[in-house]
Structure 1
Amino acid sequence: MLLRKKHRLSLFAAAFASWLSINSAYVSAEDRVFDVVAPFEIGGLDPAISGFIFQRMQITETLLEADEKGQPIPALAEKWSVSDDGKRWTLTIRQGVKFHDGSDLTAAAAAHSLNVSRSSAGMLRNAKIESISAQGNDVVITLAEPFKPLTALLAHSSTNILAPAAYDADDKVQKIIGTGPYQVTLLEPPQRLAAQRFDGYWGEKPSIEKTTYLGAGRGETRSLMAESGGAELVFQLDPPSIARLKRAKDVNVLIGAVPRVVMLAANAGSGATAPVEVRKALSLAIQREGIAAAVLRAPGTGATQMFAENVAAWHDPSLPALAYDPQASRELLRAQGWIPGADGIVEKDGERLRLKLITYSDRPELPLIATALQAQLREVGVEVEVAVENASAIPAAHNDGTLQLALYGRNYALVPDPLVTLLADFGNGGAEWGPLGWNNPQFGETMTALLAADDPAEQQRLRNKIVALVQEDLPLIPIAWYRQSIAVSNKVEGAAIDPFERTFGLSTMRWAE
């Protein structure tokens, strides 16, 4: 116990020293700095890699934004229109907007940023874009075929609009020069940045003047920083720490539903989990509500289908719920030739049903859920080896085809319309954070039909069908619906959880008097 306590203290000391080193260069006794700690590293300057951090810190902005229901609203583009054939989009750039270097936001600058994004791994690749150009004060996007969710793509962080001076001659990002209410004063990837209020901001000026960001991967470290006063806002708390922080006198804990789902991906293309009956057996062995209550400390969040009620357009209340029935699970396995051995683990043709489950610790609840799944699946005769690795191990195993099981949290509002993320995840048999080896012609046809549908009732019918097809074949097995948690110092007021996780809310908070 003493060694564990010393280890925790050393982790906190390292994190606190890192935080202190950001501030010591410029914080005087009378200054107040709003410090943010989150699990995400700054992987680079390219918006396709770390744009979400700059967006959440309100340093960069996009042409469009999203309201609390995910519907598009104006941002750097004050209005937009679409041609009758759906192939020509015209976005009018807001006048009077300045970049942080004092240069003007123009349609040419915005078009340049979008073209750079289009040529990289950003979300714009999901639309078949023929050209992006500036025509007067308008950005004109020409598509090879209609793509109704383009508004959602133009709100994604990979389409952050940067000043021309942010790029080198090869269009590589060298500086983060955005238009947001905060501008960068220090940037030290992969962990740290500092920013201050941009007095030339086009919108409402924030009350908080200075802020910092620290990427701290360990949930325990972040929680200790919240408890000690080492940060004003700590994003994403590990479940064991939430109850402790709720008792802390100087911290407020906020919890809110977000469109993120804890998923168990099973290889649907090869290996023991290729037959749908085996995937259904795995699903029937999972006590989701037990995991939600005991591990996540969030009763009621066990996933009965892919999307929770807070994603109303994609939640079908009439869909039969995912069930817990270990006896039915054993019967399905037996029907597939998996017979219990002497120690209870099922065997087939002399081979034990042993699966490797990859997960990662960036989200501290995932290893805990993996351990619970390991125990539950063993009850029906499935042996699971849990491997806690870097998050990159999952796409690596997906790409080389060795993935058997993977546990991760997937945000289906990476862009405000979940359809775009589903298109990316499920296309061509499944992408890195989608299913592996699953091809259902009906699914592809239904997605195509949804993209073309205009009638709201027909759109809803098609969304329900998509969710039902996933539930029937289970290429991804939903485990739990996610609730985001943050710890906020009582020295500030106005904190809230953004349901689409697009901002930490710096500009709407203020120091408590």
Structure 2
Amino acid sequence: MRFGLVLCLIATLSLIAAAAGCIDSGSEKNVLIVGNHLMSDARELDQGTGTGTLITEKIIITETLVATGEDFSLKPNLAESWKMINDTTWEFKLREDVKFHNGDEMTAADVKFSIENINTKQPGRTTLIDYRDSEIVDKYTIRIRTNTMNPLLPAALHSPDTAIISPKSYDANGEYVTTIGTGPMKLASFNEQTGEIVVVRHDQWWGGTPTIEKIINRGYPNPNTRAMIIENHDVDMTFDPPYSEVARLDAIEGIDVLKFNTPRTYKLDLNFDHAPLDDLNVRKALAYAIDRQGIVDNVLYGVGSVATGPFLPTMAWANTSLVPYTYNQTLAKQYLADAGWTDTNGDGYVDKDGKKLSFKLLTYTERPGLVPMLEAISSNLKDIGIEVEEIAMETGAISPMLAEGDWDMYLIAANLAMVPDPEYVLKTWYTTDGTTNRGHYSNTEVDRIVAEGHNLITPKERYAHFRTAEGIVYDEVATINVAYYGVAIIMWDNVQGFTYDPTAHDYRLSPFMTVA
């Protein structure tokens, strides 16, 4: 009878564990369970669909030809070296000790396939490569030709979307089967219903033998859910809970919280098509009205830092001579008055020609800092007499408003280093025809500087040249840079060996972690 009760109890506990989504790793050692803030579907594991950040940084199954140092300067990775042969040709020498997950050796033919695969399926993601064709010189040498002179090519090949995969990732008809990369982990399974991804150690990795045996990666898009699952130890590691929860979680015995800056900037895009945002005095008033330090301390809870220019000061090309727009309500009101906006009727709002100054401020809800930042910025602007209509919705709901121009300011966490070179941001954000210049800022001098800088070859020349353009867009308040994005990495202390990569987009998992 007692034996039956024990069996019944064991069975009941097993059902409870299963219902809770727990994983029994059995006798396996060094199994890391990660609560990821990214969700995925079947297409998102295909390099050809342009979601390289997930497969290259979050589940580390693919790698790029070019990597970066901590200051975002370029360094070898799958390519040992590169040089410019002529104005439109770059030659890359490949490592000779790289094996794909299926045991095949990586060659120049695989590199050619990978670049052409993404160029054909997602050409928008290879715009900065300016790809024309490529030539296989020998087994470990490839020459990549561009349509025009393109010194940006090596930096563009750092983008996770250009990661190298085996052609055997597709069947004979070109249909995606699985992702076969060269990274420290290899894909073991993918659950299309739950989004759970399991990767296991790649014993033949050229970078050494990973210590982690398996990573189970689950998607939890809600920040509150991520706080709950780490506290309950349903996962070993997660990222970006509500920032208001960071201190409480850090105080729990056994939980460690690490905070780092990542290559993103919280910025306000301004709609230059909507007066009076085309008035520099109004834009300067906005810049001085925002309490950046207060937002970092009290809204982001220290997860991030105050921004000056668009680039992190640790980036090798950043213009570190820029003078910050400090929080100064008096100066902000003076700039409004210089633009003709004063409170003529004593209602607390500035007006001009009988019209109240009012802006529509948008943001999206997927990242935990954006909505509370929107509220804080709105409060700051109200303090100097500006009325703000706050709109926070999922990205899909906001996109039509942006496309139709139905907005004044847009708060976004924008990526800075998908391509580690200043031209990437300055061209796309600030030139007249920039692909993400949604506010339609335009300055012929900036256009000229960026165009001329494109033809400079050496990093030292390029960096010095582009600092001039950065200074202009900063002085003209082309965007308002509020804070450099921070990531909160939360793990139980049974996880050891995590190394933060400051050049990754939010974070990159480390292959040399261990889980007790």
TM-score bracket relative to the smaller structure: 0.7 to 0.9
Displacement of 1:60 in angstroms is 0.9
CA shift digits 1:218-248 (9 cap, x unpaired): 2221122222212222122432121112212
**Of the candidates 48, 70, 77, which is equivalent to residue 79 of structure 2?**
77
- 1:220 is matched by which residue type in structure 2? N
Q: Tell me, yes or no, if the aligned pair for 2:184 and 2:210 is still in contact at 8 Å.
A: yes
CA pair 242-73 structure 1, distance change in 2 beyond 3 A: same
Q: How far does the alpha carbon of each residue in 1:172-193 deviate from its partner, in whole angstroms, 9 at most, with x for none?
A: 6442221212111222358421
Deviates more, 1:371-380 or 1:420-429: 420-429
Is 1:134 aligned with 2:132?
A: no
How far residue 32 of structure 1 moved from its aligned partner, in angstroms, is 4.7
Please state whether the residue corresponding to 1:438 is helix, strand or coil.
coil
- The within-5 A match list for 1:447-458 is 447-454=450-457, 458=461
Which residue does 1:187 correspond to in 2?
A: 190
Q: 1:455 to 1:147 in 2, by over 3 A?
A: closer
Deviation at 1:394, TM superposition (A): 5.1
Shift of 1:471: 1.2
Query: The residue matched to 1:449 in structure 2 has which SS?
Result: helix
Match of 1:45 in 2: 45
RMSD of equivalent CA atoms: 2.6
Structure 1: state its 5+ residue gaps: 1-15
Letter in 1 for 2:73: Q
Whole-angstrom CA distance in 1 between matches of 2:219 and 2:29? 23
Is 1:256 the counterpart of 2:257 in the alignment? no
Q: Identify which of 181, 197, 201 aligns with 1:197.
A: 201
Name the residue aligned to 2:7: none
Distance 1:429 1:355, change over 3 A: farther
Task: Report the Cα offset of residue 400 of structure 1.
Answer: 2.6
Q: TM-score w.r.t. structure 1 length? A: 0.88
- Provide the C-alpha distance between the structure 1 equivalents of 2:327 and 2:315, rounded to a whole number of angstroms: 23
What is the identity, as a one-letter code, of the residue corresponding to 1:54? Answer: I
Equivalent pairs counted in the alignment come to: 491
Partner of 2:147: 144
What corresponds to 1:12 in structure 2?
none
Distance in 1, Cα, partners of 2:94 & 2:18: 43
Distance 1:455 1:63, change over 3 A: closer
Give the secondary structure class of the aligned counterpart of 1:281. Answer: helix
Query: Residue 98 of structure 1 aligns with which residue?
Result: 99
Q: Choose from 200, 207, 220 the match for 2:211.
A: 207
SS of the counterpart of 1:506? coil
Q: Is 1:477 the equivalent of 2:516?
A: no
Contact 2:250 / 2:257 at 8 angstroms: preserved in 1?
A: yes
Q: TM-score, normalised by structure 2?
A: 0.87
Question: Residues 374-431 of structure 1, C-alpha deviation per residue, up to 9 Å, x if partnerless?
Answer: 1110111211122221234555433332232111112211223343233233344443
Are 2:512 and 1:508 equivalent residues in the alignment? yes
SS at match of 1:184: strand
CA contact (8 A) 2:80 2:94 kept: yes
Supply the distance in 2 between the matched residues of 1:247 and 1:301 (Cα, whole angstroms): 22
Report what 1:273 is aligned to. 277
Give the match for residue 490 of structure 1.
493
| Distance in structure 2 (CA, Å) of the matches to 1:391 and 1:451 | 32
In structure 2, what is the Cα distance between the partners aligned to 1:46 and 1:418? 29
CA distance 1:18–1:406, change in 2 (3 Å)? farther
**Does residue 309 of structure 1 match 2:313?**
yes
Tell whether 2:218 aligns with 1:231: no
Quick one: distance in 2 between partners of 1:406 and 1:487?
A: 29
Change (3 A) 1:418 1:401: same
2:306 match: secondary structure: coil
Q: 1:230 to 1:334 in 2, by over 3 A?
A: same
Matched to 1:277, the amino acid is N
Bigger mean CA deviation after superposition, 175-184 or 45-54: 45-54
**TM-superposed deviation, 1:294:** 1.3
Letter aligned with residue 91 of structure 2: T
Structure-to-structure mapping, 1:372-411, within 5 angstroms: 372-393=376-397, 395-411=399-415
Give 1:250 deviation, angstroms: 1.2
- 2:116 paired with 1:118: no
Change (3 A) 1:410 1:170: farther
Q: 1:147 to 1:246 in 2, by over 3 A?
A: same
- Deviation digits for residues 145-178 of structure 1, max 9, x if unmatched? 2222211211211101122122356756442221
Query: Which residue of structure 2 lines up, in the alignment, with residue 10 of structure 1?
Result: none
> Percent of aligned pairs with the same residue?
27
In the superposition, relative to structure 1, how do residues 71 and 455 fare at CA in structure 2: closer, same or farther (>3 Å)?
closer
Whole-angstrom distance in 1 between the partners of 2:28 and 2:94: 39
Aligned-residue offset at 1:474:
1.4
Q: Partners of 2:311 and 2:414 in 1: how far apart?
A: 11
One-letter code aligned to 1:256: F
Query: Is residue 446–residue 462 contact of structure 1 (8 Å, CA) maintained in 2?
Result: yes
How far the C-alpha of 1:305 sits from its partner, in A, is 3.0
Partners of 2:431 and 2:446 within 8 A in 1: no
